[in-house]
Structure 1
Amino acid sequence: MRKTMLSVQFIDSMSDISRQDWNEIAGTNFPFTRHEFLQALEDSAAVTARTGWQPHHALIYDDQALVAALPLYLKSHSYGEYVFDFQWANAYQQQRLDYYPKLVSSIPFTPVTGPRLCLKAGYDEQLIVQNLLKAIQQLATENSLSGWHLLFPNAALSRQLLRLGAPRRRAVHFRWQNNNFHSFDDFLATFSSRKRKNLRRERQKIVEQDISIETLTGHQITPAHWRQFALFYRQTYAKKSGHAGYLDHAFFLQVGETMSEHTVLMLAKCGDRYVAGALSFQDAEHLYGRYWGCSEEFDSLHFELCYYQGIDYCITHGLKQFDPGVQGEHKIQRGFQPYYSYSNHWLKHPGFHDAITRFIDQEDAHIDRYKAEATALLPFKSNSRSP
C-alpha cells in the first residue's frame, strides 16, 4: 500500500483554486462551503484584509492530489463570527499581549452548523485533522498569531479536535424539526391549546394588515428582486447597528446567479409595494434562514417571514430541518427546539490556553442548564410528535 504523503498549503483567495477542484472536495449539497459562495464573498469585497477577513484557506494534498480543504481567515477583530470572545481579547490586552490577528475557520457572517473540513472520500479524517492542526499551529507560531478558532463545525469534527487539545465550547441555538408533517395545521396540532391560539393570532395579523407573501426560488428571483432585497437588508442593518451590514447587492446578485438551486427568497407585499424580505438557502434536507430586512414595521411580519413561511416551505418540499439563525428565545414558543452548537479553540500562549480551557469547563454547566430550561418551555403537548 502506498504511504500517504500529506502536505498543507495556504492560499489567499478562492481564485487560487479552481471551482471544480474545490467542489470535488467540498461537494455541492451544503451551500456555504461551495466555491461559489466563498468566491462571492471575496468578489463583493465582504472578506478582505480591509474588512478584517483576509482569506487564507488551507488545502491538504496527498502528494499532488487535493484531498481536503478548510475555509480559513486571518481576523483583525471578532465581528461577524457569532461566537463571542471579546472578553478573551480584553484579557490579552490587559496583559499587554496581542489577541489579533488570529486565525478563524468559519463561514463569514453565517453561523450555521455544518461541514467545515471538506474531505475526499476514502481518506482518514483523523489523520487529516492531525496534520492540519499541526500546520495551523506552525503558521500561528511563525506569524505571531494568537491562535485558531473553528466555529460551528459538526459534532464529530469538534470531538476530534477536543481529543487533540483544542477545547470545545458549546452554545444553544434553535431549529425546527419536520416530523413528517403534512401541513402547517398538522404541525400546530402538536401544540398545547393556548400556544396554538397565540400562533394563529400572529398569523392572522398578517392577513388583517393586507400583507401577502411571494416565495421565489432559483431563477424566479430577478435582478430587480435582488436589488429590492439588498435595500431591505442594508436599511435594517443600519437601523439596528449603525452600519449598512456585511453584504451588498453584488454579493446577493452573484449567489443568485451561481447558486440558484440553493436560493429561496420570500418577499412581503402590502398592497402593490414590497415592504420586507427574507433570504434562505436550501440543500437536499435543510432550509437555512439567513438574512432579513424591511422598509416598514408591521406587527408580527418578522415572525411570519423568518419563521412561519420557512416552516411552511419545509413541509411543502419535504425538508427535514429549518435552521432560522442564531439567538432568540422567542423561537421556543414557536416550536423551534434547542440544540447544541460547537466551536473549538487553540491558543498559542500556554497560560491563556489553560485559562480559557477552565473558562469553557465552567461555562458548560450553565449551557446545560439553559438548554434544559429552554426545553421545558417548548409549546408542545406531552403526547405530540415533537419531543
Structure 2
Amino acid sequence: MAPPLRPAMHCRFHTAIDDIAANLWDALNVTGSPFLSHAFLAAAERHGAVAPALGWQPAHVTLHADDGSLLGAQPLYLRTHSFGDFSHDWAWADAYQRLGWRYYPKLVCGIPYTPASGARQLIHPNADRASVSRALLHASLQLAGGEQASSLQYLYLDDDAELRAALASEGFLLRRGCQFHWHNAGYPSFDDFLAAFCADRRKKVKRERRRVAEAGLRIEIRHGDDIDAALWQQIYPHYVSTFRRFGNHPAFSLDFFREVGRTLARQLVVFLARDASDAVVAAAICYRSDDTLYGRHWGAAADYHSLHFALCFYEGIDYCIREGLQHFEPGAQGEHKVSRGFVPQATWSAFHIADPRLRGMIGDFLQREQQAVAQYQDEMAEHLPFRQQD
C-alpha cells in the first residue's frame, strides 16, 4: 500500500507580524512561550523596539497547506547590526570588515532583546513535524541567499536534539554557551529548597532576605493584568535606569509594557519593592510560560543591600515553587547565581555562514570555544551550594 500523501506546502514571508492572524500564529505556540506569542512580537514592532531604525527588519516566514491552513512559522529578522540579539558575533563582524567583506545584513531566527532558550520553529501539533521543520529551514536559507546575508542564525534553541541534528546536516555550526538556571526538585516551600544547602550558604541566603526587610522594604508581586497605567509609570524608570547606567539604549517603551501587560496578562510578572512611603523603589520584570519563569529586566532607585538578589532570584524561586513552575531562567551570565542554587546549563545556537572561507575559520574557533565552555560549566558546578557538593 502506498504511503499517505502529504499536503502540498508553500511559504510566505511577512514584513510585519500583524500581517499574520494572531489566533493562527498562537495556535502553533504549543509550549505557551510568552516570547513567541503574537502579542509580545507584535508589541515590539508596534512600539518601535523592532524597526529598521534599530537594525531589525521583520521577515517572518509562514508555511501553509494548499487549503490555506497554517502549518508552521518562524520569527525572522534581517539585522544590520548585532545589538539586542545576544548572538555574541561582534568579533566575526570585525573579521569580515578587516578582510574588506560585508557581514551585515545577517538573518536571525530569535527573540528580540531576549536571550531566553526556547523553540524557534512553531509547528502545528497535527502537522508532519520533520517535513514542516525542513521546509521552514530551507525557506529561511533561500531568503538569506536572496538578501546576500552573511549568515542565518538560530539563537538560543531549546533542548531539541532533533532540530540541532537537522541544522548540523545542513552545514550549520553549533555554538555552545552557558547560563545559570534553577530547576524545581519538587520543593514544597522555599525553606525546603534552602534545606538542601550546606549550612553556611543557607545562612547567607537567609541573611540577604532579612536585610531587605531590615531596610524597611516590602516586596509585592503583580501580574500584567493587575498593573494599571499609573503603576507602569512608577515601574518604567527603573527599567530605563539600568540601561542608562551602562550607556545602553532601553529598546522597550512605556507603551510597550502597558500593551504586553494587558495582552499577556498573567504571563507577565513583576516583583516590586516599596519603601515606607509606599513608593516603588525597585522592580524586576519577568515573564512566564506554563512551566518556566524568565527574568528579564531589573532596576532600582538606590543601592539597597541584597535587594537585587532578593527581588531577581529568591522571589522568583519562591514564586516558581508556589506556582508549580519547573524552571527559572533569570537571564544571561552571572556566576554569582551559582551559590544561590542556579545550575550551569548549556545553551545552543546555530549559524549557517555563507562564505566557505569564514565558515572554516569560525568553525575552528567554535570547536575550541565549545571545549572551554564545557570546562567552565564543570568548574562552576563544583561551587553549587547543595549539601552533596560538600
Q: State the shift of 1:8 in Å.
A: 1.9
Write the distance in 2 (CA, Å) between the matches of 1:70 and 1:136.
9
Write the distance in 1 (CA, Å) between the matches of 2:350 and 2:31.
25
Q: State the shift of 1:171 in Å.
A: 0.5
1:276-355 equivalences under 5 Å are: 276-355=282-361
Q: 2:127 aligns with which of 123, 130, 145?
A: 123
Aligned letter for 1:231?
Answer: P
Q: 1:379 aligns with which of 379, 382, 385?
A: 385
Aligned letter for 1:267?
Answer: L
The reply to whether residue 165 of structure 1 matches residue 171 of structure 2 is: yes
SS in 2 for 1:2: coil
Q: 1:50 aligns with which of 45, 49, 53?
A: 53
Q: State the shift of 1:264 in Å.
A: 1.0
Aligned letter for 2:127?
Answer: Y
Q: State the shift of 1:343 in Å.
A: 0.2
Write the distance in 1 (CA, Å) between the matches of 2:48 and 2:384.
41
Q: Is the 8 A contact 1:218 1:264 kept in 2?
A: yes
Q: TM-score, normalised by structure 1?
A: 0.96
Write the distance in 2 (CA, Å) between the matches of 1:256 and 1:341.
28
Q: State the shift of 1:281 in Å.
A: 1.1
1:170-181 equivalences under 5 Å are: 170-181=176-187
Q: Is the 8 A contact 1:334 1:379 kept in 2?
A: yes
Aligned letter for 2:353?
Answer: L
Write the distance in 1 (CA, Å) between the matches of 2:172 and 2:303.
44
Q: TM-score, normalised by structure 2?
A: 0.95
Q: State the shift of 1:28 in Å.
A: 7.0
Write the distance in 1 (CA, Å) between the matches of 2:368 and 2:342.
27
1:135-284 equivalences under 5 Å are: 135-156=139-160, 157-240=163-246, 242-272=247-277, 273-284=279-290
Q: How many residues end up aligned between the 2 structures?
A: 383
SS in 2 for 1:138: helix
Q: Is the 8 A contact 1:130 1:164 kept in 2?
A: no
For 2:13, the equivalent position in structure 1 comes to 10
Write the distance in 1 (CA, Å) between the matches of 2:196 and 2:261.
36
Q: State the shift of 1:367 in Å.
A: 1.1
Write the distance in 2 (CA, Å) between the matches of 1:112 and 1:353.
26
Q: Is the 8 A contact 2:284 2:312 kept in 1?
A: yes
The reply to whether residue 41 of structure 1 matches residue 47 of structure 2 is: no
Which is worse superposed, 10-19 or 155-164? 155-164
Residues 222-248 of structure 1 show CA distances to partners (whole Å, capped at 9, x for unaligned) of 1112121111101221012x2441111
Write the distance in 2 (CA, Å) between the matches of 1:194 and 1:33.
40
Aligned letter for 2:120?
Answer: R
Residues 180-225 of structure 1 show CA distances to partners (whole Å, capped at 9, x for unaligned) of 1121111111111111111111111111111110111242211112
- Which of structure 1's runs of 4+ aligned residues deviate more than 4 A? none
Q: Is the 8 A contact 2:382 2:389 kept in 1?
A: no
Write the distance in 1 (CA, Å) between the matches of 2:202 and 2:31.
38
The reply to whether residue 92 of structure 1 matches residue 101 of structure 2 is: no
Q: Is the 8 A contact 2:123 2:133 kept in 1?
A: no
| C-alpha RMSD over aligned residues | 1.5
Write the distance in 2 (CA, Å) between the matches of 1:124 and 1:368.
34
For 1:113, the equivalent position in structure 2 comes to 117
SS in 2 for 1:80: coil
For 1:60, the equivalent position in structure 2 comes to 63
Write the distance in 2 (CA, Å) between the matches of 1:201 and 1:110.
31
Q: Please list every run of 5 or more consecutive structure 2 residues that lacks an aligned counterpart in the other structure.
A: none
Q: State the shift of 1:383 in Å.
A: 8.0
Write the distance in 1 (CA, Å) between the matches of 2:318 and 2:108.
35
Write the distance in 2 (CA, Å) between the matches of 1:294 and 1:377.
28
Q: State the shift of 1:308 in Å.
A: 0.5
The reply to whether residue 102 of structure 1 matches residue 69 of structure 2 is: no
Instruction: State, as a whole percentage, how many aligned pairs show the same letter.
Output: 37
Write the distance in 1 (CA, Å) between the matches of 2:122 and 2:134.
14
Q: Please list every run of 5 or more consecutive structure 1 residues that lacks an aligned counterpart in the other structure.
A: none
